Amino acid sequence: MPYNLNISTMLERAETLYPKKQIVSRTLDQIHRLTYREVGERTRRLSSALKSLGVEKGDRVGTIGSNHHRHLEAYFAIPGLGAIVHTINIKFSSRHLVNMINHAEDKVLLVDEEMLPQIEKIKDQLPKVKAYIVMSDSKKLPDSTLNPLFSYEGLLEGGDGNFQFVKDLDEYSPAGLCYTFSSSGTLKGVVYTHRGVVLHSLVVGLGETLALTEADVCMPIVPMFHVNAWGLPYAATWFGTTQVLPGPNFTPEILADLMSKERVTVAASVPTVWLGLLMVLEKGLHDATSLRAAISGGSAVPVSLIAAYDKLGIPLCQAYGMTETTPLVTVSRLKSYQEELPVEERIMFRAKQGILAPGLEMKIVGPQGKVLWDGQERGELLLRGPWVAGEYYRDDDSNGVFKDGWLHTGDIASIDEEGFIQLMDRTKDLIKSGGEWISPVELENAILELEGVLEVAVVAVPSQEWGERPVACVVLKDGYRDQLKQKDILEPIAEKFPDWWLPDEVLFMDELPRTIAGKFLKAKLKEQVIKYLNR
């Protein structure tokens, strides 16, 4: 019988089967503990309040917030109306914020109190926004130039706790929207459908992938404006999993504290956050042994980081995906017979991005067509499947990202005979020197193995002779600052690479510019380096 998958059924399951299970939500004021019954009722109140504000089926409602229970309620309340939750990355520039909000034509914006100033700055450029809602613990409205402005908790008070979610929706109806810089480098919107979110949630629950269950305590550290926090809040709600939402302005100490006190079993973030946490956990003051999966994505994980977590008894598990893929594509989970391998071989597999999730199709296409499964040959990773986007939102020109029914990821990958995918670089990040490719990721991995190196990013700078040349930007660990010179970096790695791969310069820096998600801002770094070197 034709049956439309619908996000609201996921929350309804939690309300009825797991009404006593908890969402633990850190805000600036306090730690909130709400049950799924309470979150369900509050979500219904929010849906009815948004409806009263004029939100209709198909409308976009923007959210500008950190990871907390109100953001989770918005995840369900907005699609529960048949509308689209547009999660906005607050770390984008004012110009990009204006572009996104106007391109999406957001009718209402939900904004964390501490983020109001950024929105006040651009409010006059947002003609389509009809109402603002401030997300804070208080019903009292703050001083603000936004108008009309409502308080979230005030609206909920007037809402209907028995509101019935919209059910007559085709499963291909849009439910979410997230903008990203596509592999072509321009800002594009990716739409998530009810069908895609439901299927992706099933896959996140597979024993084969993340195995998220009711018995877990799940902490998405990855921001909720970043591909739905990798889909974890949706899946966790469906399964009745306890959720720990770490809120705004967290530090590694705050995270370690939450992990230890709430007995978190699954947490998800990027390598740099895991690196920061490692420093705290290695002090031995927090007990994070409840963690059965430290999921890392967003960029490649160095072997050394996996090994360091192994020492703490915490399995660091790599996953790969992108905004266009909802996001789960691969998980680096050893096959049963690989568990018999020596530890060094196991860790080499675990340091790859892993095996394609059930439900997706892939091919890796190099200059000579499909690459061999030899772990060596390289090509661009192409994907398709039920949670892979087929187009950008209101955008006719996908710049070749969608072609012949495949998403062209822009990621250069190899695949070994066990089917483990390894990402080498983004096509746009590769350095073209003398007509040949240099892989910054491989240089970075080699430099990261050196004693005293905390972080490294290799960027391309223009060269009259070669087109582009690599430059390494290195942050040293405390105790090593000013102790290492350029030759201490280049000499030990020289034998691993052709001469012409070695960076022209090694610049020692105090820190590297990053996105809120913790990824290096390579474009910004490149600008700084070019200016500094005067190239």
235-243, 458-466, 477-485, 522-530 -> range binding a copy of itself (CB under 8 A): 235-243
Asked if 214 interacts with a copy of itself (CB under 8 A), we say yes
Residue showing tokens 């109190």: 113
Q: Residue 327 interacts with a copy of itself (CB under 8 A)?
A: no
> Is 16 a binder of a copy of itself (CB under 8 A)?
yes
Positive/negative CA dihedral, 238, 243, 249, 250: negative
What residue type is assigned to position 461 of the chain? V
Reference 319, options 294, 349, 296; nearest CA is 296
Nearest to 239 by CA among 265, 192, 206: 206
- 437 belongs to the catalytic site: yes
Q: Is 432 labeled as catalytic in the residue annotation?
A: yes
Which position among 15, 41, 113, 324 bears the catalytic label? Answer: 324
Task: Based on the residue annotation, tell me whether 180 is a catalytic residue of this protein.
Answer: yes
Contact 370/361 with Cβ under 8 angstroms? Answer: no
Name the residue nearer to a copy of itself (CB basis): 321 or 518: 321
Among 366, 386, 452, 467, binds a copy of itself (CB under 8 A): 386
Distance, CA of 410 to CA of 3 (rounded, Å): 35
Catalytic residue among 437, 442, 505, 519: 437
Residue choice 58, 400, 405, 434 for contact with a copy of itself (CB under 8 A):
405
Q: Does 207 bind a copy of itself (CB under 8 A)?
A: yes
385 binds a copy of itself (CB under 8 A): yes
Q: How far is the CB of 237 from a copy of itself (least distance, A)?
A: 11
Give the span between the Cα atoms of 431 and 467, in whole angstroms: 9
The residue behind tokens 């109140």 is 45
CB distance 316 to 294 below 8 Å: yes
Say which residue the tokens 């994980």 belong to.
301
Is the CB of 373 or the CB of 508 nearer to a copy of itself? Answer: 373
d(CA 158, CA 45): 8
- Give the β-pairing of 22-26 and 60-64: unpaired
Q: Which stretch binds a copy of itself (CB under 8 A): 46-54, 208-216, 253-261, 481-489?
A: 208-216
Residue 398 makes contact with a copy of itself by CB under 8 A: no
Q: What CA–CA distance (Å, rounded) separates 313 from 311?
A: 5
Nearer to a copy of itself, 275 or 415 (CB): 415
Among 180, 213, 304, 427, binds a copy of itself (CB under 8 A): 213
Rule CB under 8 A: choose which of 50, 203, 227, 259 binds a copy of itself.
203
3-state secondary structure of 176: strand
Is residue 292 at the binding interface for a copy of itself, with CB under 8 A as the rule? no
8 A C-beta contact, residue 471 and residue 505:
yes
Select from 3, 367, 396, 531 the one that contacts a copy of itself (CB under 8 A). 3
Please, how many CA atoms are within 13 Å of residue 533, restricted to the half-sphere of its CB? 22
Pick left, alpha or beta for residue 61 (phi over 0 → left; psi -120 to 50 → alpha; otherwise beta).
Answer: beta
Of the candidate spans 37-45, 358-366, 442-450, 464-472, the one that interacts with a copy of itself by CB under 8 A turns out to be 358-366
Contact call for residue 346 and a copy of itself (CB under 8 A): no
CB-based contact 63:79 (threshold 8 Å): no
* Minimal distance, residue 210 CB to a copy of itself, in Å: 8
Q: Which of 57, 95, 121, 335 binds a copy of itself (CB under 8 A)?
A: 335
CA distance 144 to 84: 26
Is 340 among the residues that bind a copy of itself (CB under 8 A)? no
Catalytic: which of 9, 114, 130, 180?
A: 180
The answer to the question of residue 391 lying near a copy of itself (CB under 8 A) is yes
Which residue lies nearer to a copy of itself by CB, 91 or 384?
384
CA 61 to centroid of chain Cα atoms = 20
**Calpha distance 28→381 (Å, rounded):** 41
Check 57, 432, 485, 487 and give the catalytic one: 432
The residues binding a copy of itself (CB under 8 A) are 1-3, 5, 9-10, 13, 16-18, 20, 172, 198-199, 201-203, 205-208, 211-215, 238-240, 335-337, 355-356, 358-359, 361, 384-386, 388-391, 402, 405, 418-419
The residues annotated with a catalytic role in the active site are 180, 324, 432, 437
